[in-house]
Amino acid sequence: MARRDGAADDPARLARRLIRRVGRASLATIDGDGRPLATLVLAASGQDGAPLLLLSGLAAHTRNVANDPRVSLLFATEGPSEGALARPRVSVGGRAGRHDDKAARARFLARHPAANAWAALPDFVLWRIAPDAGHLVAGFARTHHLPGAALLADTGAAMRMQEAEADILVHMNADHREAIALYATALAGARGGGWSMTGIDPEGCDLRRPSRGREAPDSHLVRIDFPQPVDGPGSARTMLANLARTARRRAQA
């Protein structure tokens, strides 16, 4: 698969960023009588950007995908109801398949640590959605139909980052907490302290701090999108160092 750098306003790149950034999705499945069912699920993304879902075997949507793997997922940015239809969103159509991959499961649980409370139960299984097509609404009257392949990152880069992700996270959280805090505050405009890096992939990294009280949903989560994709751990280290320098300059300005 060819590497996709693309401009910041490239529809495929925007769609991939939404899938990686939004942690909840509306899942549409088909029941045994051919009726559609829409439910709300927690979502994460694999190294290649494919959506990941941790589903209970007791849930109706899980029984549906076991019988008919065709699904659709809607990822929509959150905010006030006023202007909701002008905010970016992407629908991903594809097929769901069980995904017994430890690294992918670890990425899901890092994105949603509260899920650890039930993830060990035997009926909870990780599913991967293989995209067939995407429908991006980038804003009012700005729609784009995308092939499934456009929603995925470079396969080779994804494999290399998967092998290196755990080591990168240990290193960054042990030795570069100041840089992580600057990514969150100076680059993303987030507030608070105690930031850690919970995931890194070819197109960016995920940061989290402890949530506090009644703060706005997901205000303790930050996604840092890389200016261009990295192709492995070496270029990821260079990217993180460059971002740290940029963040320090902004913090000092």
Percent of the chain with pLDDT over 90: 85
Non-local CB neighbours of 237 within 8 Å, separated by 6+ positions: 168
pLDDT of residue 116: 93
Residue 236 reports pLDDT greater than 50: yes
What rounded mean pLDDT belongs to the chain? 92
pLDDT of residue 217: 64
Could you tell me how many residues make up the chain? 253
CB 224 within 8 A of CB 247: no
pLDDT of residue 5: 42
User: What global pTM score does this model have?
Assistant: 0.91
pLDDT of residue 65: 97
pLDDT of residue 2: 35
Q: Name the residue among 241, 245, 1, 7 with its Cα closest to residue 131.
A: 1
Confidence at 1, pLDDT banded by 50, 70, 90: very low
pLDDT of residue 9: 74
CB 61 within 8 A of CB 41: yes
From residue 213, give the alpha-carbon distance in Å to each of 39, 149, 193, 210, 219.
27, 40, 15, 10, 11
Model confidence pLDDT, tens digit, residues 61-91: 999 999 999 999 999 987 666 667 778 999 9
- In whole angstroms, give the CA distance from residue 92 to residue 146: 9
* Amino acid at residue number 245: R
Q: Name the residue among 124, 150, 145 with its Cα closest to residue 49.
A: 150
Q: Tell me the backbone φ, ψ of residue 111, rounded to 5 degrees.
A: -70, -35
Residue 178 reports pLDDT greater than 90: yes
Long-range contacts of the stretch 232-239 (C-beta < 8 A, 24+): 232/157, 232/160, 232/161, 232/164, 233/160, 233/161, 233/163, 233/164, 233/167, 233/168, 236/161, 236/164, 236/168, 236/200, 237/168
Span 214-222, average pLDDT: 76
Alpha helices in the chain (DSSP H): 11-21, 60-67, 102-111, 116-119, 155-175, 177-182, 233-252
Q: Name the residue among 39, 45, 1, 42 with its Cα closest to residue 19.
A: 45
Model confidence pLDDT, tens digit, residues 92-145: 999 999 999 999 999 999 999 999 999 989 999 999 999 999 999 987 778 999
Domains of the chain from N-terminus onward:
1-152 (2.30.110.10), 153-253 (3.20.180.10)
pLDDT of residue 4: 43
